[in-house]
């Protein structure tokens, strides 16, 4: 019997084989049978087959009897190798599968390194071309704490997709074509400020931020200034060269300032094709959607109706229309997004597109996806998979959206600086004898890791409370706790005078004691967790697993001698340490977290 990477597949394959080949079963049931295999309560088994019950019910059979028959047939026919699995019937007709130590050992031997694991996972998505649209902040504004989630969640999901074999294109769809540029150009001209004379992009962006605030106050007090701004915007939209240069200088500093943040947060972007990139591509959208009778004119605007959407407009008669062109003929967020989908299909050959924004854009994406579906159907274009990944709000200790004391949003750079400062304190306290340079490197990994982990370890669709003390604690479900386990394994290897990168040490498994078996059992759940994380695009599944694995490892380590044990015992325990290190490192890397050898 083959030891598959995901043990559920071994069971699934065996059961389908039985149902296909066993004459008696074939006679009793027609059609296909879904065994419905789930991870079981670890007190009883590893996996549970739940599908016998509905099958028995449909065929008016006694489920316990049927489960017993199937169980017996599986072992008698040797479809299931009883050296690897222990089977039993439980409850009203479930079949429990317990992995024997020999299965665990064989699995650990077969998937013995990060490369071996990746070789398996990289087949999952079969090179599917996937555009991931993140972090896509709007330009001309300084990044604040609200920009943390798109960067952190986006980077993690991109890594998970890559690890699962997708061909990932990271496209930063910045909002760089907004009406705010009219006001900005107005005030820059009025004050005679030239943006590209600044050395420090972050400083320039700070100035732009405050100039914009000043501009809107001025406009509120002098309506004629508002007309000037509007005129500057119109000139920009019509390609006026002076305004285009000013606009470009603002976009440049904005991108440079963001790049600095990306670097600190280990965020990688392949393209920055913002809204402005599509300004000459929207006409085709209007034409196509009108010709295909998907959009209709309404008061000069262009709208698409989706009667299947259950949220109704004010008149309570029809749902909200999807407005794809403004009354004055200007493009909007929807027009550029439709042009963007087309470009991603035609230029990147995208088979899947994943959008990351906060929860407030759910309606937009629902309408965008519906429009695309109808449009592509009529156009006879293959519809890519379209997914909106959204999240909740970061809250302060008062359970309200987090703000500074004076009620402003917290600047992302200040947040990162504070994290590093706090982490440095924690790290020096814990390890005062390390060289200062190393303390700094560790503090940075801990700080960024803590910020990211606090975000990724909560279910993304829920809000979470930002709490410095908790995220930097070495206890509980935190980055420092996990990083420390990795450092601990490194130190075990140093003590044993072994090299973690030496591949010859990790090939012998023969798990025996309760703690060894418990750890092995947790290790082999990695593919199942990863699969679940991938299909839901929810990194907290992975982080919860890593936290549990770290706990099981600590229990193992506190109860079993690793070094100084009898040499064959030492070898298998060292191998288990090695494997835990591999899985924890892969896992943290998929969360975008940098690990350190020493803490
Ligand atoms: N720039 C937008 C914002 O800050 C997010 C863009 C998301 N991507 C997209 N294709 N609509 O809200």
CATH 1.10.730.10, domain 412-590, yes or no: yes
> pLDDT by residue (tens digit) across 519-529?
999 999 999 99
Q: What tokens does 183 get? A: 């006001």
Contact present, 138 and 184 (Cβ < 8 Å): no
The ranges assigned to domains in the chain are: 7-99, 145-175+275-391, 180-264, 412-590
Ligand 1, atom 6, residue with closest C-alpha = 136
Q: Provide the 8-state DSSP code for 360.
A: G
Q: Which atom of ligand 1 is nearest to the CA of 355?
A: 8
pLDDT at 131: 98
> pLDDT by residue (tens digit) across 80-103?
999 999 999 999 999 999 999 999
pLDDT at 110: 92
Residue of 140, 144, 336, 361 best suited for mutating to test ligand 1, as the one with most atoms within 8 Å of CB: 361
pLDDT at 312: 61
**One CATH from 3.40.50.1820, 3.10.129.10, 3.30.1360.70, 3.40.50.300 for 7-99:** 3.30.1360.70
Q: Which atom of ligand 1 is nearest to the CA of 364?
A: 11
Please tell me the pTM assigned to this model.
Answer: 0.96
pLDDT at 458: 97
What are the per-10-residue average pLDDT scores of the chain (599 residues)? 91 92 85 89 94 92 95 94 95 96 95 94 98 97 97 98 98 96 98 92 95 97 96 96 98 97 98 97 98 95 90 65 93 97 98 97 96 97 97 97 94 98 96 95 98 98 97 97 98 93 75 96 97 98 98 98 88 94 98 96
Q: Which atom of ligand 1 is nearest to the CA of 358?
A: 12
pLDDT at 590: 98
Ligand 1, atom 5, residue with closest C-alpha = 136
pLDDT at 237: 93
Ligand 1, atom 11, residue with closest C-alpha = 337
Burial of 564 (0-12, 13-18, 19+ CB in 10 A): exposed
Domain pair 7-99 / 412-590, same fold: no
Residues 6+ apart with CB under 8 A from 157: 132, 134, 354, 356, 389, 537, 539
pLDDT at 318: 64
Give residue for tokens 């008149």.
315
Contact present, 129 and 349 (Cβ < 8 Å): yes
Q: Provide the 8-state DSSP code for 35.
A: -
- The CA distances from residue 413 to 144, 146, 147, 192, in Å, are 8, 12, 11, 28
Any residues with Cβ below 6 Å from ligand 1, and which?
Answer: 133, 136-138, 173, 175, 337, 340, 355, 357
pLDDT at 333: 96
Residue of 132, 133, 136, 170 best suited for mutating to test ligand 1, as the one with most atoms within 8 Å of CB: 136
Specify the CATH number of the domain 145-175+275-391: 3.40.50.620
Gyration radius of the chain's alpha carbons: 29
Residue 359 CA to ligand 1 center (angstroms) comes to: 12
């Amino acid at each position: 019997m083959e030891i598959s990477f995901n043990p559920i597949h071994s069971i699934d394959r065996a059961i389908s084989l039985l149902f296909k080949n066993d004459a008696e079963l074939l006679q009793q049931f027609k059609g296909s049978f879904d065994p419905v295999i789930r991870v079981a309560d670890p007190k009883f088994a590893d996996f549970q087959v739940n599908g016998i019950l509905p099958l028995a019910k449909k065929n008016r059979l006694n489920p316990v009897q049927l489960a017993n028959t199937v169980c017996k047939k599986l072992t008698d026919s040797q479809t299931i190798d009883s050296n690897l699995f222990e089977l039993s019937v439980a409850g009203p007709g479930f079949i429990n599968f317990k992995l024997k130590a020999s299965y665990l050992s064989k699995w650990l031997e077969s998937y013995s390194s990060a490369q071996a694991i990746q070789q398996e996972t990289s087949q999952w998505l079969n090179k599917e071309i996937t555009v991931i649209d993140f972090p896509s902040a709007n330009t001309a504004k300084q990044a604040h704490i609200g920009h943390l989630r798109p960067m952190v969640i986006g980077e993690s999901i991109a890594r998970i997709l890559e690890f699962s074999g997708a061909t990932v294109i990271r496209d930063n769809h910045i909002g760089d074509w907004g009406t705010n540029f009219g006001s900005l150009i107005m005030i820059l001209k009025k004050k005679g400020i030239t943006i590209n004379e600044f050395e420090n992009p972050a400083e320039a962006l700070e100035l732009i931020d405050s100039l914009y605030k000043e501009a809107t106050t001025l406009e509120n007090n002098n309506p004629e200034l508002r007309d000037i701004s509007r005129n500057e915007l119109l000139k920009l939209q019509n390609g006026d060269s002076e305004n285009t240069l000013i606009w470009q200088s603002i976009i440049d500093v904005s991108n440079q300032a963001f790049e600095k943040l990306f670097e600190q947060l280990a965020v990688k972007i392949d393209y920055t094709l913002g809204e402005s990139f599509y300004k000459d591509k929207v006409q085709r959208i209007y034409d196509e959607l009108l010709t295909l009778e998907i959009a209709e004119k309404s008061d000069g605007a262009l709208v698409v109706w989706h009667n299947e959407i259950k949220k109704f407009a004010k008149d309570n008669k029809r749902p909200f229309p999807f407005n794809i062109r403004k009354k004055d003929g200007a493009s909007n967020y929807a027009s550029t997004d439709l042009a963007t989908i087309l470009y991603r299909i035609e230029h990147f050959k995208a088979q899947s597109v994943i959008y990351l924004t906060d929860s407030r854009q759910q309606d937009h994406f629902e309408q965008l996806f519906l429009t695309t579906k109808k449009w592509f159907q009529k156009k006879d274009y293959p519809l890519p998979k379209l997914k909106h990944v959204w999240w909740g709000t970061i809250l302060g200790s008062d359970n309200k959206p987090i703000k500074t004391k004076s009620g402003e949003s917290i600047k992302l750079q200040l947040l990162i600086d504070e994290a590093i400062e706090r982490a440095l304190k924690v790290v020096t306290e814990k390890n005062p004898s390390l060289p200062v340079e190393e303390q700094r490197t560790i503090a940075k990994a801990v700080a960024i890791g803590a910020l990211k982990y606090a975000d990724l370890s909560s279910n993304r669709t829920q809000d979470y409370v930002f709490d410095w003390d908790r995220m930097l604690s070495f206890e509980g479900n935190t980055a420092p706790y996990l990083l420390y386990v990795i450092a601990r394994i490194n130190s075990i290897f140093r003590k044993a005078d072994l090299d973690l990168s030496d591949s010859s040490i990790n090939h012998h498994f023969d798990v025996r004691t309760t703690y060894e078996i418990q750890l092995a059992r947790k290790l082999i759940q990695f593919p199942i967790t990863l699969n679940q994380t991938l299909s839901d695009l929810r990194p907290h599944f992975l982080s919860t697993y890593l936290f549990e694995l770290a706990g099981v490892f600590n229990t193992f380590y506190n109860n079993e001698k690793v070094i100084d044990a009898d040499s064959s015992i030492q070898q298998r325990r060292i191998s288990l340490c090695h494997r835990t290190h591999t899985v924890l490192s892969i896992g943290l890397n998929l969360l975008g977290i940098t690990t350190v050898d020493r803490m």
